Amino acid sequence: MSGTPIVLASNSPRRREILTQGGYEFTVDAADVDENLGIIDPAKLVEALSLKKAMAVADKYPDKTVIGADTVVAIDGDILGKPIDESDAQNMLRELSGRTHQVVTGVTVVLPTVDGGRGHETFHEITDVTFYELSDEEIDTYVSTGEPLDKAGAYGIQGRGALLVERISGDYLNVVGLPLARLSRILKK
């Protein structure tokens, strides 16, 4: 793909795979940022975090496009991050069982502008995910794979977690961690 070189401000291997799937070449440079912003609205939270992540490295790359992103799982007004241990993962999966939750990803794209300055665009994308009713045995089996432990909401739809999902409504890659199709439409500008 042509255009300005891209820097992905995220260490997530899943986001790297998604950008690669889209045919993009890019480098990775992610700064640690404090994720406790005290924002309780999921969409506002992930937008603010994506902006913070992008801005944390943007100054180092004045001529490049920088992409920041953050993903959370939301249900009943609660935000589920990554579980702290297996018992926490089991509790999250019990909460998601048999119901529909939202996966919300915020994305910020920092772009050089035609006048030599910089602009940025921030958006969020929401996908509804409906889980099958899960038995305790299914939850235990899944948690024992270790897959849930580093994932928001304690599941990975691109892995064994696909077995838990009855249907989604929205963008699939948004659930994995980056809404590629919508992002590509911004990068094209």
**Contacts to a copy of itself from residues 105-164, by CB under 8 A:** 132, 145, 157-160, 162-164
Phi, psi of 37 (to 5 degrees): -95, -5
Check the CA dihedral 28-33-36-37 and report its sign. Answer: negative
Cα angle 65-68-74, degrees, rounded to a multiple of 5: 150
* Smallest separation, CB 173 to a copy of itself (Å): 6
- Among positions 7, 23, 102, 104, the unique one binding a copy of itself when judged by CB under 8 A: 23
| Binding flag, residue 21, a copy of itself (CB under 8 A) | yes
- Of the chain, the end-to-end C-alpha distance in Å amounts to 13
HSE on the CB side for 34, CA within 13 Å? 4
* Contact map string, positions 65 to 104, toward a copy of itself, x by CB under 8 A: ----------------------------------------
Q: Is 128 one of the catalytic residues?
A: no
Q: Are strands 65-75 and 26-28 parallel, antiparallel or unpaired?
A: unpaired
Assigned token pair, 177: 């961690």
Pick the closest to residue 185 from 126, 114, 83, 109 (CA basis): 109
**Is 166 among the residues that bind a copy of itself (CB under 8 A)?**
yes
Distance of closest approach, residue 141 Cβ to a copy of itself, in angstroms: 9
Which residue, 57 or 187, is less far from a copy of itself as judged by CB? Answer: 187
Least distance (Å) between residue 130 CB and a copy of itself = 10
Write out the catalytic residue numbers: 70
Contact residues toward a copy of itself (CB under 8 A) are: 21-23, 132, 145, 157-160, 162-173, 180-181, 184-185
